[in-house]
Amino acid sequence: MAEDLSADERIAIIHQNLQEVLKPEIIEDVIKHQNRPLSIYWGTATTGRPHCGYFVCIIKIAHFLRAGCKVKLLLADIHGFLDNLKAPIELVEYRAKYYRFVITSLLKSINVPIDKLEFVLGSSYQLSPKYTMDLFRLSSVVTEHDAKKAGAEVVKQVDNATLSGLIYPLMQALDEEHLGVDAQFGGVDQRKIFALAAEVLPKVGYKERAHLMNPMVPGLAGGKMSSSDPDSKIDVLDPPEIVTRKLKKAHAAPKEVDGNGLLSFVEYVLLPVSALKNNGSAKFVVPQRSKPDQPPQDPLHYASIDQLKADYAADVLTPQLLKPAVTAALLELLAPVQAEFEASEEWRETEKKAYPPPEEKKKKKEKKDKGSRHPGVQVLPDGHVEGRGKDQVNLGAGGVEKAMHELQIAQERSDAKS
Taken in order 369, 373, 379, 383, the sign of the CA dihedral is negative
The Cα angle at residue 63 between residues 172 and 219, in degrees rounded to 5: 65
Q: What is the pLDDT of residue 377?
A: 52
- Do 71 and 181 touch, CB atoms closer than 8 A? no
- pLDDT tens, N- to C-terminus, the chain (418 residues): 677 899 999 999 999 999 999 999 999 999 999 999 999 999 999 988 999 989 999 999 999 999 999 999 999 999 888 875 666 778 888 999 999 999 999 999 888 888 778 999 999 999 999 999 999 999 999 999 999 999 888 777 667 777 888 999 999 999 999 999 999 999 999 999 999 999 999 999 999 999 999 998 887 765 555 555 566 689 999 999 999 999 999 888 999 998 898 999 999 999 999 998 888 889 999 998 877 777 778 899 999 999 999 999 999 999 999 999 999 999 999 999 999 999 999 999 999 999 988 776 666 666 665 555 555 555 555 555 566 555 554 544 455 455 455 556 656 666 666 5
d(CA 396, CA 389): 10
Contact predicate 67/150, CB 8 Å:
no
State how far the Cα of 255 lies from the Cα of 249, in Å rounded to an integer: 17
pTM of the model: 0.79
pLDDT of 407 reads 53
Taking the CA atoms of 201, 204, 206 and 207 in sequence, report the sign of the dihedral they define: positive
pLDDT value at position 101?
Answer: 96
Phi and psi at residue 246, in whole multiples of 5°?
-65, -40
By C-alpha distance, which of 273, 271, 276, 251 is closest to 262?
251
Alpha helices by DSSP H, 299-344 = 305-313, 319-343
**Could you give the dihedral angle defined by the CA atoms of residues 83, 85, 90 and 91, in that order, rounded to the nearest 10 degrees?**
-60
DSSP, residue by residue, 68-108: T-EEEEEEEHHHHHHTTTSS-TTTHHHHHHHHHHHHHHHHH
> Would you call 40 exposed, middle or buried from its count of C-beta atoms within 10 A (0-12, 13-18, 19+)?
buried
CA distances for 351 relative to 3, 78, 85, 237, 282, angstroms: 39, 19, 19, 11, 34
CA distance 214 to 63: 12
239: nearest Cα among 136, 155, 326, 338? 338
pLDDT value at residue 396? 47
The rounded distance, in Å, linking the Cα atoms of 136 and 129 is 11
